Amino acid sequence: MDIDQLRREYLHGGLHRKNLRDNPIDQFEHWLQQAVDAKLPDPTAMNLATVSADGQPSQRIVLLKKLDQQGFVFFTNLGSTKAQQISENNHVSLHFAWLELDRQVIISGEAERISTAETLGYFLSRPKESQLAAWASRQSHPISSRVLLEQKFAEIKHKFSKGEVPLPSFWGGYRVTPKSMEFWQGGAYRLHDRFLYSQQTASQTESSNKQGASTEKTQWQLERLAP
């Protein structure tokens, strides 16, 4: 197969500064909505990159389950490789690839655990089988056979056959608060459009505050990058 001959033009049209929202989360929501409307498979799938304490990056897909002005929330096993790496180094990157729209979004930020209450809210909304599967798997640990996994699932199913499935203590959510977000739109002749939002934190002293305590206000700088 001549993989070097596999190519296509990116013809969905350009990205113009005047059409970009001031706030990158608002811009992201707009693009996510378009990905959903275009019926892309798994529009909320994002690649999560983490880096181990000794500097080795790794990545895997997780699903975006909540988005607000604070950031991007996903859920996982707290004993997994990704959780271990985040505990050592909470600088992470997220990558959305909406290839059918010739788009990608790249986010850099910091991951923080969300509260048990917020996790529980999502856990209870999951189908029962997914709740049971969370209990059954020691994610990222070696397992001798699939049979063992299925046995464990059956045991858990029996154990929690009546009533609600409780939230496992080893399962939780993380919120990635963005520091930068890049929006990439493929262009004809590989002249792509890239716009980078970078967070500028301005310390402000509220004049109304008599103690002169400073408050943080997030501002976003927007610049075009060469493709």
Ligand X SMILES: Cc1cc2nc3c(=O)[nH]c(=O)nc-3n(C[C@H](O)[C@H](O)[C@H](O)COP(=O)(O)O)c2cc1C
- Looking at the DSSP bridge assignments, the partners of residue 182 are 106, 196
Residue 21 appears among annotated catalytic residues? no
Show contacts with ligand X in window 155-214 (CB under 6 A): none
Show contacts with ligand X in window 82-101 (CB under 6 A): 82
Among 217, 185, 223, 221, CA closest to 203: 217
Does residue 38 bind ligand X (CB under 6 A)? Answer: no
Does residue 63 bind ligand X (CB under 6 A)? Answer: yes
User: What does the alpha-carbon distance between residue 110 and residue 115 come to, in Å, rounded to a whole number?
Assistant: 16
The smaller minimum CB distance to ligand X, of residues 130 and 200, is found at 130
User: What does the alpha-carbon distance between residue 82 and residue 60 come to, in Å, rounded to a whole number?
Assistant: 8
Q: Which of 80, 93, 137, 185 touches ligand X (CB under 6 A)?
A: 80
Please name the residues in contact with 116: beta carbons below 8 A apart, sequence gap of 6 or more: 167, 172
At 196, is the secondary structure helix, strand, or coil? strand
Q: Which of 76, 93, 131, 185 touches ligand X (CB under 6 A)?
A: 76
The smaller minimum CB distance to ligand X, of residues 133 and 196, is found at 133
Where in the sequence numbering do the catalytic residues fall? 190
Contact residues for ligand X (CB under 6 A)? Answer: 42, 45, 58, 60-63, 74-77, 80-82, 139-140
